[in-house]
Amino acid sequence: MSRENSQMIEDKSVDIEEENIARKERLFAIARWTLPSLMMVLFIGGWQAYVTIAQVPHYILPSPLLIAKTLVEDWSLLWPAMLMTGRLTVLALLFAVIGGLVIAVSFTQSKLVEMAMFPYAVILQVTPVVAIAPLLQVYVDNAFVAALLCAWIVAFFPILSNTTIGLKSTDHNLEDLFTIYGATRWQRLRYLSAPSALPYFLGGLKIAGGLALIGAVVAEFVIGRAGTGLGLASTLLEASYRFNFGRLYAALILISVMGVAIFGLMSLISHLCLYRWHESALKRE
Amino acid sequence: MTVNRAPLRERPELLKMSHIEKTFRGDVVALKDMNLTVNQGDFISLLGPSGCGKSTALRLVAGLMRPTNGVIEWSGGQGEGDLGVVFQEPTLMPWAKVKDNVWLPYRLRGKSYFEVKDEVLQALKLVGLEQFQNAYPRELSGGMKMRVAIARAMVTKPRLILMDEPFAALDEISRHKLNNDLLALRDAVGCTVIFVTHSVFESVFLSDRIVVMAARPGRVIRELNVEAPYPRTEEFRTSADYAAFAREASDALHQAMEVAV
């Protein structure tokens, strides 16, 4: 009895544990944005301080201020370069999606096709693209097509392999249900396999988006201006030859920005497609 | 409410399984010489220990596999939409709204949603979920998902519904509720049911015929009729009749286990 009494005395109108959880959540909500921003300020500040105090020459490590200045001054050169690299990346990703989907669907429609083709898709993927790129330049007359092919090879595999797994991971009972209701092959693909594969495909798309950019950069490095005109990666390479490190860093930063933008866009697409029904979009209460 | 159903022995035949045998991988005999006549309006439970071939029998009737020997004949032939199925899992498409899940049997027959909207909403109303038509499956409880699965199985007003331990994963309260509702639904729709279960009590409460099966090889060892009137309510669950039928079914099940071991 006395224990119960003491509990009653301690009992307050608000649950302390719940209050603590709520406080933690508020803290995390603020920290999610302020902490990375703080890290960035510290990093850039430290960099600027180091360059200034140690008097590092700009052709070894340019200061953040110099990079910012170059970004503004060279914008008329950097912006078209960014468009150029962007075009190559987007086209490579687009063809990667089309190619990956078509091949994945043909794999799941015919086991024999998969048996015949899959090892070669793997070989294409595991062979470093840097090693293939010079060959592409030799065999493909049009340099832009060669660069596109180079970026495509890197980007398409995650789409292919993820979508193939997704198309195969349909619920067996749903398969049976479709059989009982006399579904055609097309209906099965359209209403069962495709929606089942969607989360897997979108996972592959996120990876492929980043890889398409990497492929585009590699293509620019290896195939050069002939293929794409002056893209960001070619700009970066040229700047390094000229010891123009301000421009080099500016181009590098823009490439990173593109990568982040692509990732953000793919994450947004994924969220929009899945948030209504998929477990991955479910917040635990 | 009185139910218009012919007495057990006067019902017209719906489906006949004759000398059904199913062998897997050449030597595993899943079913041996199974004979079963399903009549219109029957509620048949296939009761038995695991491995007795009751699910195999269901898959054979569903046309998901072919018997090694024997034939399954539908009187008047099997037409489109004659069959509804409910599995142990609700087996809903997680990406589709409740109403789209129920629409599926019609959709696969090329019917647009607007052609069959009334049927879909009617089926959802029967299981008490019409206000959830626009919800996604993940928003529903286990029992509600199962109701959607039942609505989907019933939406085409099939002549026969196959149920493979549909309530095994539910808690007892939901299970009793769904048992009661299933009987009411079946009266409303007037279909025939083959219900696979390993629960003696469930089989007695629901069915008018219980087919007891034994394992290794899977076969029918006993058929008994539960000659208690419908509608069956909670009172039936605690009646002396119920206890007597349960005793009989339980003895048969024990016999099935003994011959199996």
The pLDDT, as a whole number, for residue A1 is 44
The pLDDT, as a whole number, for residue A129 is 79
What residues make up the domain containing B241? 12-82+160-167+191-261
Nearest-CB residue to B95 (from A177, A187, A277): A277
pLDDT > 80? residue B260: no
The pLDDT, as a whole number, for residue B51 is 81
Domain boundaries, chain A: 2-54, 64-281
Indicate the pairing of strand B209-214 with strand B43-47: parallel
A169 interaction partners in chain B (CB closer than 8 Å): none
Nearest-CB residue to B64 (from A179, A183, A192): A179
* Contact indicator for B124, B74 with CB cutoff of 8 Å: no
A187 interaction partners in chain B (CB closer than 8 Å): 108
CA–CA separation, A104 and A109 (whole Å): 9
Nearest-CB residue to A187 (from B87, B93, B108): B108
pTM of the model: 0.85
CA–CA separation, B81 and B213 (whole Å): 29
* A3 against A221, higher pLDDT: A221
Percent of chain B with pLDDT over 70: 96
Angle at B250 (CA atoms; ends B232, B183), nearest 5 degrees: 20
pLDDT > 50? residue A235: yes
B9-33 burial string, b = 16+ CB within 10 Å, else e? eebeebbebeebbbeeeeeebbbbe
Residue in A193, A277, A283 to test binding to B, most B beta-carbons within 10 Å: A277
The pLDDT, as a whole number, for residue A141 is 84
Is some CB atom of chain B closer than 8 A to the CB atom of A185? no
B 30-49 residues inside an 8 A Cβ radius of A: none
Radius of gyration (C-alpha) of chain B in whole angstroms: 18
Q: Chain A residue closest to B96 (CA)?
A: A277
CA–CA separation, B106 and B26 (whole Å): 38
- A176 and B62 within 8 Å at the Cβ level: the answer is yes
Indicate the pairing of strand B43-47 with strand B69-74: unpaired
Grouping H, G, I as helix, E, B as strand and the rest as coil, residue A282 is coil
**Domain CATH for B20:** 3.40.50.300
Is some CB atom of chain B closer than 8 A to the CB atom of A272? no
Dihedral sign computed on CA atoms, order A189, A191, A192, A195? positive
CA–CA separation, A227 and A147 (whole Å): 6
Nearest to B160 by CA among B77, B233, B68: B77
CB pairs under 8 A between A and B: 53
What are the tens digits of pLDDT across the range A8-48?
Answer: 555 556 788 888 888 999 998 888 889 999 999 999 999 99
What are the tens digits of pLDDT across the range B51-94?
Answer: 888 889 999 999 999 999 999 999 888 877 789 999 999 999 99
The CATH fold of domain A64-281: MetI-like fold (1.10.3720)
- For A106-114, which contacts have Cβ atoms below 8 Å and span 24 or more sequence positions? A107/A160, A107/A164, A107/A167, A108/A164, A108/A167, A108/A168, A108/A193, A109/A185, A109/A189, A114/A164
- For B99, the enclosing helix (H) or strand (E) is helix B98-107
- Torsion of Cα atoms, A139 then A140 then A141 then A143, to 10°: -130
**What are the residues whose beta carbons fall under 8 Å from the beta carbon of B64, sequence distance 6 or more?**
A176, A179, A180
Q: How far is CA B207 from CA A7, B40, B64, B192, B242, in A?
A: 53, 13, 24, 11, 12
B80 interaction partners in chain A (CB closer than 8 Å): 182
Nearest to B147 by CA among B104, B119, B177, B113: B177
Name the phi and psi angles at B229, rounded to 5: -70, 150
CA distance A103 to chain B (A): 24
Q: Tell me if B256 is assigned to some domain.
A: yes
CA distance A282 to chain B (A): 9
Angle at A11 (CA atoms; ends A9, A14), nearest 5 degrees: 150
What are the tens digits of pLDDT across the range A58-86?
Answer: 888 999 999 999 999 999 999 999 999 99
Preceding amide of B231 cis, omega within 30 = yes
A80-114 burial string, b = 16+ CB within 10 Å, else e? ebbebbbbbbbbbbebbbebbbebbbebbeeeeeb
What are the tens digits of pLDDT across the range B115-169?
Answer: 999 999 999 998 999 999 999 999 999 899 999 999 999 999 899 999 999 998 8
Tell me the residue length of chain B.
261
Angle at A113 (CA atoms; ends A109, A116), nearest 5 degrees: 155
B104 interaction partners in chain A (CB closer than 8 Å): 177, 181, 191
A173 interaction partners in chain B (CB closer than 8 Å): 87, 89, 91
Is some CB atom of chain B closer than 8 A to the CB atom of A275? no
CA–CA separation, A152 and A234 (whole Å): 19
Tell me the pLDDT of chain B averaged across its residues.
89
CA–CA separation, B38 and A248 (whole Å): 81
Ramachandran category for residue B72: left, alpha or beta (phi over 0 → left; psi -120 to 50 → alpha): beta
- B85 and A177 within 8 Å at the Cβ level: the answer is yes
* Contact indicator for A169, A196 with CB cutoff of 8 Å: yes
> For residue B261, what pLDDT band results from cuts at 50, 70 and 90?
very low
**Mean pLDDT of the A156-182 span:** 92
In total, how many domains does chain B have? Answer: 1
Extract the tokens encoding A60: 């070894």
Percent of chain A with pLDDT over 90: 55
* Contact indicator for B58, B46 with CB cutoff of 8 Å: yes
Percent of chain B with pLDDT over 90: 52
- For B35, the enclosing helix (H) or strand (E) is strand B28-39
Q: Tell me if B153 is assigned to some domain.
A: no
Extract the tokens encoding A176: 């049976």
